[in-house]
Amino acid sequence: MFTGKQLLSKQLISMTDGKKIGEIKDLYFDEKLTKIVGIYLGSEGLINKKHFAMDRSNVQVLGIDAWLVTSSDVMVPAESLPDAERLIHYSALRGREIMTEGGTKIGAVEDVLFDTDGAIIAFGLGRIVVQGPLAERKVIAREAISTIGGVGSAMTANMALAETTLVPG
């Protein structure tokens, strides 16, 4: 299991020639928040900034110290990722509020937890205002989230599922 914080700054190395491609600056998630679909590599240029990314499918090994990618030419302009305008950035997700379906505030997303294939399995909680199992675990399973919200709107969670669904690891 990985967390988003653990993945930031992780090296990306080409399997074909051992070249360092860059490091993970941010992550892109699909619009349903189920998996990592892209990796943001940063930007270049002062006046005409160009943002670079790569598709998650180019990652062959999600290693402990580095991620190994298919080749050294996988970097593309960030806007050319499939469905780029609908992807959700890890950095934008952090801090998003989570509420119950009834409107009671639970807390906010502090981190994202992934399995070894890059699927989102849970969200780490911060600024927790409820008591009970969620407050003790400080994590809410992805399957307990009923809506993902958006900029300026909170995620909603099924409280019964949130309190009873255990997160592996």
* Domain boundaries along the sequence of the chain: 2-90, 94-164
Q: Is the pTM for the entire model greater than 0.85?
A: yes
For domain 2-90, give its CATH number from 2.30.30.240, 3.30.750.24, 1.10.10.10, 1.10.132.20.
Answer: 2.30.30.240
Is the pLDDT at 126 greater than 90, yes or no? Answer: yes
**Do 117 and 110 contact (CB within 8 A), yes or no?**
no
Same fold across 2-90 and 94-164? yes
CATH architecture of 94-164: Roll (2.30)
Residue pair 104/97 in contact by the 8 Å Cβ criterion: no
The per-residue pLDDT of the chain, averaged, comes to: 95
Q: What is the pLDDT of residues 128-165, one digit of tens each?
A: 999 999 999 999 999 999 999 998 899 999 999 999 99
Q: Please determine, for residue 41, whether its predicted confidence score (pLDDT) is greater than 90.
A: yes
Give Cβ neighbours of residue 141 (< 8 Å, ≥ 6 apart): 121, 122, 161, 162, 165, 166, 167
